[in-house]
Amino acid sequence: MTAHEISEFLAPIRHEFPDQRSLILPALRFAQEEQGWLPPEAMAAVAEATGYSQAYVESVASFYDRLYTEPVGRRVISVCTTLSCMLRGSDELLAHVAANIGTNGEGTSADGMFTLQRAECLGACDRAPCLQVDSDDQQGPLTHDDADAIIGALRADGAPTRYDR
Partner 1 sequence: MSEPDEAPVIITINGQAVEARKGAMLVDAAKAVGVEIPVFCYEPRLGKPIGACRMCLVEVEGMRGLQTACSTPVARDMVVNTTSDQVKDAQNGVLELLLANHPLDCPVCDKGGECPLQDRTFQFGPGETRILEPKNHFPKPLDLSPLVALDRERCIACFRCVRFSEDVAEDGQLTFHERGDSTEIATFSGEPYEGRFTGNTIDLCPVGALTSNPYRFVSRPWDIKNAPSICAGCSVGCNLEITERDGEIKRVTGRPDPNMAVEEGWICDRGRWAFPALTAGDRLVMPEIVDQVGRRHVRIERAVGDAGAILRRSGIRVAFLLGTPVTVEDGFLALELSHLLDDAPVARLGVSDDGLGPLRALPGAQMHDMDGADVIVMVGGDPSSQQPVTELRLRKARRNGARVAMVGPRPTALDGNTAEALRTVPGRLGDAMDVVAERLLGSSRAIVLWDECDLAAEPVAADALARLVASTPGARAIELAADVSGPGLRALGIPATGVLEQIEAGEVDVLITVKADPTTGPGGTRWAAALNQVPTVIALSTHRSPIVDLAAIAIPVLYGLEEAGTLVSMAGRAQRLRPGAIGPEGAAAAWEVLVGLSHRMGQPLPDRTAAQAFDRMAKRFPAFSGLTCTDLGLLGAPIAAGTGGPAAPARRAEGEGLALVVSTPVFGDATAHRSDALDCVREETHLGLCPAEADRLGVSGSTHVRVTTPFASVLLPLVEDHRLHEAGAYLVLGDPASMAATLLPADRGPVCAVISAPVAQEVGA
8 A C-beta contact, residue 119 and residue 127: no
32: contact with partner 1 by CB under 8 A: no
* Max CA separation in the chain (angstroms): 48
37: contact with partner 1 by CB under 8 A: no
The binding track of 66-105 with respect to partner 1, each residue x by CB under 8 A or -, is: ----------------------------------------
For residues 52 and 68, which CB has a smaller minimum distance to partner 1 in the complex? 52
20: contact with partner 1 by CB under 8 A: no
Binder of partner 1 out of 25, 56, 118, 160 (CB under 8 A): 56
Concatenating the DSSP letter of every residue in 97-121 gives HHHHHT-SSSEE-TTSSEEEEEES-
For residues 85 and 101, which CB has a smaller minimum distance to partner 1 in the complex? 85
For residues 65 and 145, which CB has a smaller minimum distance to partner 1 in the complex? 65
Give the range of 24-32, 55-63, 80-88, 109-117 binding partner 1 by CB under 8 A.
55-63
The binding track of 126-165 with respect to partner 1, each residue x by CB under 8 A or -, is: ----------------------------------------
Between CA 131 and CA 138 the distance in angstroms is 6
Handedness of CA 144, 150, 154, 157 (dihedral sign): positive
Strands 75-80 and 114-119: parallel
Helix (H, G, I), strand (E, B) or coil at 164: strand
8 A C-beta contact, residue 68 and residue 32: yes
For residues 42 and 142, which CB has a smaller minimum distance to partner 1 in the complex? 42
43: contact with partner 1 by CB under 8 A: yes
For residues 40 and 123, which CB has a smaller minimum distance to partner 1 in the complex? 40
Handedness of CA 118, 46, 10, 14 (dihedral sign): positive
